[in-house]
Amino acid sequence: MAKKKRQSVSETAASTTSARVESAVVEFAEDLGRLLGTAQAKADGWMNQRKSVTDQLTQIRDTANRYIQQLTGGSAAGAPAKRGRPAGSKATGAAKRQGTKRTLSPEARERIAAAQRARWAKQKGAKNAK
């Protein structure tokens, strides 16, 4: 019977050692799961903060662009506003499409010339008065 007692003691020691190892592995797995869960929660929080900051910066950029367009009269930022009639407008487009020159009647030319002579006389009169 002595041999049976020795085997059962060694079996008991082995089962105790295996129970301790199993317990340590389970405890390690729980700690690792807790650690990974915490890391994931922090990463999710950082990504949400990053998205929030990106959204706020995008909103600021869009508002700034809208103000720039209002200040420049709708032209692109940095580009000077174009002067004159838009290309293809009715006022100049019809004559260009027909290939004809616009000519003034002799009466219209005389009225323009008379108005210019009056402006010159007024200007000369102001210079002579000084």
CA–CA separation, 95 and 88 (whole Å): 11
Confirm whether 28 is domain-assigned. yes
What backbone torsions phi and psi does residue 53 show, to the nearest 5 degrees? -65, -40
Confirm whether 103 is domain-assigned. no
Confirm whether 111 is domain-assigned. no
Which residues 6+ apart lie within 8 Å of 6 measured at CB? none
Tally the domains of the chain: 1
Q: Read off the pLDDT band of 1 (50, 70, 90).
A: very low
User: Does 6 have pLDDT greater than 60?
Assistant: no
CA–CA separation, 118 and 101 (whole Å): 28
User: Which residue's entry shows tokens 């007692």?
Assistant: 5
User: Does 15 have pLDDT greater than 90?
Assistant: no
Confirm whether 122 is domain-assigned. no
Half-sphere exposure of 81 (CA within 13 A, CB side): 10
Q: Which structural domain, as residue segments, surrounds residue 61?
A: 9-75
CA–CA separation, 92 and 100 (whole Å): 11
Confirm whether 57 is domain-assigned. yes
Least Cα distance to 22 among 11, 10, 14, 34 occurs for 14
Confirm whether 85 is domain-assigned. no
Confirm whether 104 is domain-assigned. no
Question: What angle (nearest 5°) sits at the alpha carbon of residue 59, between those of residues 56 and 60?
Answer: 90
Quote the pTM value: 0.33
User: Residue 94 in contact with residue 87, Cβ under 8 Å?
Assistant: no
Quote the mean pLDDT of the chain: 81
Confirm whether 26 is domain-assigned. yes
